[in-house]
Chains A and B, each alone.
Chain A
Amino acid sequence: MADHPQKTGARARPLSPHLTIYRWQVTMLASITHRVTGAGLGLGALVLVWWLVAISNGPEGYDNFMGYAETPLGLLILFGFTWALAFHFLNGIRHLAWDLGYGFEKHTATRTGSLVYVLSVVLAVAIFAFAWTGHGGYLQ
């Protein structure tokens, strides 16, 4: 396992410029957002496990979970997970397309990066608006 790259070697070796050197661009922001949403969705997955365990505990367990989920803070967090999943889903498809050799051209990558931000917000808002206006619950 390599040690810290800046500490190895007898003499100082040239380093590539780090994050702070570059002008911010959509592509690098999308890359960082992909990681942050991925890690955030890890917390979301734990909440999903909590939801399943609450349901398995019967009506009281479910009511207890809903008591937290239906507070303003709970809804805000759930909206955050919804957006994070929408972003990670759409940007993940963008990454898979790159791996298959599509869309890696500089201007294309910039355009699809902006598109992912716009679409993820639209998708998250649309899902909440859909549920808020009483269109959810179709599995009853």
Chain B
Amino acid sequence: MSSLETPLHKVRGLGASHSGTGHFWRERLTSAALIPLSLWFAYAVVGLIDTNEVTIVSFLAKPWNAILMGLFVVISFYHLGLGLQQILDDYVHAPGMKLFLRLVVTVVWIIASVIAVFALVRIAAL
């Protein structure tokens, strides 16, 4: 998509959060991607209820299931980061605190994503 920024905005480089259209667009893209992924996730989790550890491991060890679960987790966390940033932009007014909380959010979602993907790799190797 070409830029939706106005020329004035480009020159100033300012806005509610120093950017905006990119954030808006990424939020829409990730939410659209999460529609089919959430449906798959619900199908998978309900299908694994009342089964056992062996069934769950063999399900998650299948390549497509591992890939879909990985995509669901990572895209969900990316989408979460965007959403929490928007909440911080709206409600935290002190610039230093805003930057700090944004860093915390970003660090936590990236670490959690890496842990989830690593767990999926370990499950595939079980």
Question: Which residues of A approach B to under 8 Å, CB–CB?
Answer: 1-4, 35, 38-39, 41-42, 45-46, 48-49, 52-53, 55-56, 58-59, 62-63, 85, 89, 92-93, 95-96, 99, 127, 130-131, 134, 136-140
Q: Chain B contact residues: over half helix, strand or loop, or mixed? A: helix
Q: Chain A contact residues: over half helix, strand or loop, or mixed? A: helix
A53 to nearest B CB, angstroms?
5
Whether the Cβ atoms of B50 and A39 lie closer than 8 Å is no
A3 contact set on B, CB distance < 8 A: 93, 95
B25 to nearest A CB, angstroms?
10
Question: Which residues of B approach A to under 8 Å, CB–CB?
Answer: 14, 16-18, 28, 31-32, 34-35, 38, 42, 44, 46-51, 53, 55-57, 59-60, 69, 73, 76-77, 80, 83-84, 87, 93, 95, 98, 112, 115-116, 118-120, 122-123, 126
Whether the Cβ atoms of A52 and B119 lie closer than 8 Å is yes
Whether the Cβ atoms of A1 and B18 lie closer than 8 Å is yes
Task: Report Cα–Cα, A134/B42, bound state, in Å.
Answer: 16
Whether the Cβ atoms of B35 and A52 lie closer than 8 Å is no
Task: Report Cα–Cα, A61/B10, bound state, in Å.
Answer: 52
Show 19 residue pairs from A and B whose CB-CB distance is below 8 angstroms, ordered by the A residue: A1-B95, A2-B16, A3-B93, A38-B80, A39-B84, A42-B80, A42-B84, A45-B80, A48-B116, A49-B119, A52-B73, A52-B116, A55-B57, A63-B53, A92-B31, A92-B34, A93-B35, A96-B28, A130-B46
